[in-house]
Structure 1
């Protein structure tokens, strides 16, 4: 699907590109900022991006989803102050694509994908930020010099806003290659991930009900090659709080969203003749999240279901009901 088709299908109110004065040659990289009701955090996010030191042009593309808490006004202030760096897209909630009857950020994010001008693309949520002012330089430099890799990434520090507890996602002590076959096994936060922007289709009709976009992105990139973990970059920061997309929803709802993402990717790979290991990993990934919380008998049943998936059976909602019975719905959290 191209931008024209996407707009015809989903744009009910025009997205306005806020006037700025960015001039010169096309940026080598785009940092896409998707934001909605991030008034408490968005300035920290944007400041961390404006501090990036590079020897190339890059753009900060803000996709603002008509927030109700003042986020839009803050974004306008930044766009006015830094017109050489920032492009601001003002979306309307009239364009929102509901998933399971609830508003989502799908339209806002996908429209920004179509609008990105950079050869390389990275996405950051408006409540997250970069700690390393050389993060973008190091990632772009790596991909420029290593054509065999489709993406690169660095560590992420997860901070729980309620408890102040924090942890690093990876305990790697040096650079590491993540083979294409293993990209679905590694949970890479989008704030640290930079990838080649011309490899994959940005959107198709079957994606409109999928929330697990980071998982789908890794699955599609895996078709083209490996990714590199860069050790010598300070972590990005991912905030976990009750205003996030996943935190407030029930485990049952999370499970359904996970299986929807898995089923989409399995259907996507039906048309692919290679990457058998990626197909297998797509089958295993989300279901494996639940295994440690099951009884021995439940694990046997789940393993049977996973083996069935490997032999070509699709996950359907009857399977979803089976898995739901296995879960400790009151005690387990993703």
Structure 2
């Protein structure tokens, strides 16, 4: 299998059909699978997913968990166990991520990213621009800045700059044979933890085209992962310290500046 499309979803009845349609319309010269895990949704999303899985049994592998895999607490880790389960279930040489409330708009997205990674074996990640859309009808905008670098490295991430939209991420599937880093399960920001581990194995390539939509709404986890949340700030600070140790302090001065930034943020909110 060349590509696994990894789809974690929870209570996305309003969005999941659009996400699956965006994956199923992909035009490729290789085989791909859609690995979707519903995390015990209480809405009609499981029924929608089941119907798609029955219509496309050769494409969709659906895990409809009867109960939420958790953890329930802390809330910053919501959905973590489902995501880790799915990442390990992906059998493709490459994995493309898209959460159940986001979707792809370019039918050649997967082909373009695979072509890039096949031509550039020293890259572990391909990502692209997204349009950020809002449930409350706030104006949409691009996820990436106009000056986003074509090639980035782990040091860019360690400077606490996030530029890899989850719905744009495709990576070489090292985790077919390797385990996640020991610090991964302690990091509330699971997307950061994943991308940092990948960036330690190769460069990050950017395609400037907008090939999907990232949806912001009240139910999204990004509302919990906020700079006013002291627990989240402390957890993020600890993640960078864990990564520094994991990398053998190769980027110690960069990490120290980032940790100091989190110290200032915690001081500003009185924690």
What TM-score do the two structures reach when normalised by structure 1? Answer: 0.72
Point out where structure 2 has 5 or more consecutive residues left out of the alignment.
none
Q: Does structure 1 residue 267 correspond to structure 2 residue 242?
A: yes
Q: Does structure 1 residue 225 correspond to structure 2 residue 202?
A: yes
Alignment deviations for residues 224-272 of structure 1 (CA, whole Å, 9 cap, x no partner):
22111112x333211111011132677542x422431331242233143
Residue 105 of structure 1, CA deviation: 0.3
Point out where structure 1 has 5 or more consecutive residues left out of the alignment.
1-26, 288-304, 307-314, 330-334
Could you tell me how far apart the structure 2 residues matched to 1:204 and 1:173 are?
Answer: 31
Distance 1:323 1:176, change over 3 A: closer
Aligned length: 268
Specify which structure has the bigger relative contact order, considering alpha-carbon pairs within 8 angstroms and separated by 6 or more residues. 2
Q: Does structure 1 residue 324 correspond to structure 2 residue 245?
A: no
What is the aligned partner in structure 1 of residue 190 from structure 2? 213
Alignment deviations for residues 130-170 of structure 1 (CA, whole Å, 9 cap, x no partner):
11110010001111111011111100111111133111022
What TM-score do the two structures reach when normalised by structure 2? Answer: 0.88
2:152 pairs, out of 174, 178, 181, with 178
Could you tell me how far apart the structure 2 residues matched to 1:93 and 1:283 are?
Answer: 41
* Aligned residues of 1:159 and 1:240 also touching (Cα < 8 A): yes
Residue 180 of structure 1, CA deviation: 3.3
Distance 1:273 1:211, change over 3 A: closer
Bigger proportion of residues as strand: 2
In our comparison, the structure showing a higher alpha carbon Rg is 1
Residues 128-143 of structure 1: pairs in structure 2 closer than 5 A? 128-143=102-117
| RMSD over equivalenced CA pairs, Å | 2.7
Distance 1:143 1:248, change over 3 A: closer
